[in-house]
Amino acid sequence: MTTDLRSWLSVYLKGLCMGSADAVPGVSGGTIALITGIYERLIGAVTGIDVDRILTILGGLRPGHQREAYDAFMEMDGVFLLVLGAGIASAVVAVTRLLEWAIEEIPVLTFGFFFGLILASAIVLYTEVELDTPGRVAAAVAGFVAAFVVSGSASAALDDSLVFVVLAGAVAVSAMILPGISGSLLLLILGKYEFMVTTLKEFTDGLLDVALGQASASSLVADGTVVVAFVGGALVGLFTIAHAVNWALEHYREATLAFLVSLILGALRAPVGEATRQLGTGETVDYGVWTTELVGAFLVTAVVGAVFVLAVDRYTAADINY
């Protein structure tokens, strides 16, 4: 029993590390899973989730079907996913509170750090990609263009409606199976990163107020609806996008990697645009606001972020067999 508790505590702590990474654009929870030795188990568990098993588990609510529900739950490594998910969720809640403050108070430093994380991730991952065929080059160009366009004016056109929140959740969860690509980066590309960070922070603050009797449960409806929609989108993504990406990696690995890594490179527009927006200059850089000191601060924190990713990659390369 003690051994079981220790093993599940280990999984929870690994979830904390993954969640902390996934909350930051440019750092991948998948990479942390690789480093901590649970990547293959995570992939097996995620791709083991299907509609039939979910229906069988829900069927356990009926008398006489508990055994089938239990077997289906264990077949998709349900306990592992629950414990790991609890760790991820705990970290995301904690880290996003810090990030919400950082984005508001020190946006240039924050997005500069993100820029460095993203740039270094792209450089590291390009060492794994071979652009030696026209198809792979085309995939790389498509990935770069898609991210560059969407993370610019196109992301501003996407509103905060529940439809787009569901879409964002579905897209972000696909990063669970991709070492080097984080769900937060995909949210940043879609222009929904700051919105989700702020909403989650306000929702957890509201939960605390309700628990302390300082607010009514009705005050949670607005933010809670967004959180539920995002989680719902993530569940949809598990059945669709994550499986599609996994299929593409199995059948067209090099072209898919070329597209995904170039997606990261094209996303470098996003942190610059977000920092600019926080400075109140709209969608284009106003060099009257981007002073030499601010540009210098942005670049310094970018270097710090890049060094962090390169250090993680060196550790991964030394201890993990890709």
Instruction: Give the chain's residues under pLDDT 70.
Output: 1-3, 26-27, 152-159, 176-180, 280-288, 315-322
Residue pair 231/169 in contact by the 8 Å Cβ criterion: yes
**pTM of the predicted protein model:** 0.75
Can you tell me the distance from the alpha carbon of 65 to that of 214, in angstroms, rounded to the nearest whole number?
Answer: 42
| CA 172 – CA 185 distance, rounded (Å) | 8
Phi/psi of residue 127, each to 5°? -70, -15
155 touches 167 (CB < 8 A): no
Distance set, CA 68 to CA 52, 76, 83, 172, 269 (Å) = 12, 13, 21, 31, 49
| 49-57 LR contacts (CB < 8 Å, sep 24+) | 49/76, 49/81, 49/238, 49/239, 50/76, 50/239, 51/239
- Sign, CA dihedral 148-256-244-194, equals negative
For residue 264 the two structure tokens come to 């990261």
Residues across the chain: 322
The pLDDT value given to residue 283: 47
> What pLDDT was estimated at residue 300?
95
**Neighbouring residues of 136: CB distance < 8 A, sequence distance ≥ 6:** 129, 130, 254, 255, 258
Would you state the pLDDT for residue 83? 92
